[in-house]
Structure 1
Amino acid sequence: MENNKILKIKEYTISSTDCFFLDNNVWMFLFCPLGNYQKKKQSVYSNFFADILSHRATIYINSLVLSEFANTYLRLDFQLWKRMPENCRADYKRDYLQSEQYAATASLILAVMRNILKVSERMPDNFNSVNLDLLFDHFKIIDFNDSYFIEYCRSCGKNMLFVSDDKDFSKIDCGNVKVLTM
């Protein structure tokens, strides 16, 4: 499906009146040093993020994005921790969650999330106002959370710009929601 609402971030001119909602994959590029991968994407999203901040545009966030961020970060750390010979057969819940590594990483994640919250505005999750029919239609094609985020942005009534590194959004009709990506 061709979607004319998918825009390249390098071609988008930010305005101080813009409202952005960043997907977890973008927050990971910005604030997860463990990843330390795809340097070009990190650079592009970091520059775009700095541009949003310099224009004093608004970045919104909700609890689901923070949950995805924390869980993705922890799972990445767990995979790295499991590479150590003594942890190669470790179980996430039984072993990792009881480890000093988990405690240290969780503390780091909390500090990072506090920094994310300093540059963003918390929004309610609006599940009650999300169009479930559209969400479920999207879910037939793309990930449930991604489906939710599109409908969430649509339901906010702020002409929200959704920033994501996920190419799946070209597979669905995003309606009036503009998706900005590399």
Structure 2
Amino acid sequence: MTDRTDIFAGDDPFEIARRWLAEATETELNDPNAMALSTVDADGLPNVRMVLLKDITDDAFWFYTNYDSVKGQELQGAGKAAIVLHWKSLRRQLRVRGTVTRDDGPEADAYYASRSLKSRLGAWASKQSRPLSSRTALMAEVAKMTARHGTNPPRPPFWGGFRINPVEIEFWADGAFRLHDRFVWRREDPDKAWEITRLNP
């Protein structure tokens, strides 16, 4: 596509996404990897919340959470999700839709081990998305988990990674007079070639 130049240039959407994230890391004040994650429940009712993107590999976007949380259950139930990263400093956004797979293998173990001790213990203590009587009760649970697991807690069996394998990736950049630039990469499934289309703003 002849006019896909500058920030949109490249033959690999994952490489473009990594480049945009690296640029955002230099310009965003807080959490350049913050993304809105959209799921649906069993009735098809949408749900969205902010989570942190942890990696962009050559075929997927990765994040980590509690498998028993609402988002964890919805991700596993539907097997599909969408994310958007919006960088105000760059006036850009990245949208992704695709299939979701759970990953609780070595990558999840390594990421869990890299987190601070308090975050690792917090993952054990929090029954994410379920009712909580008070913050005091939560801190008591943290203390109990600290006593049980010490300074090297293993990764909880209910906590780990999800990977989104995209069937659609859209790159959006702000344009004068709201004449934005949008390029969408689409494929029927992860084994097929990408088709690239410029979209109207």
After TM superposition, the score normalised by the length of structure 2 is: 0.25
Greater Rg by CA: 2
User: Which is richer in helix?
Assistant: 1
User: Which is richer in strand?
Assistant: 2
Higher relative contact order, structure no. (Cα contacts within 8 Å, ≥ 6 residues apart): 1
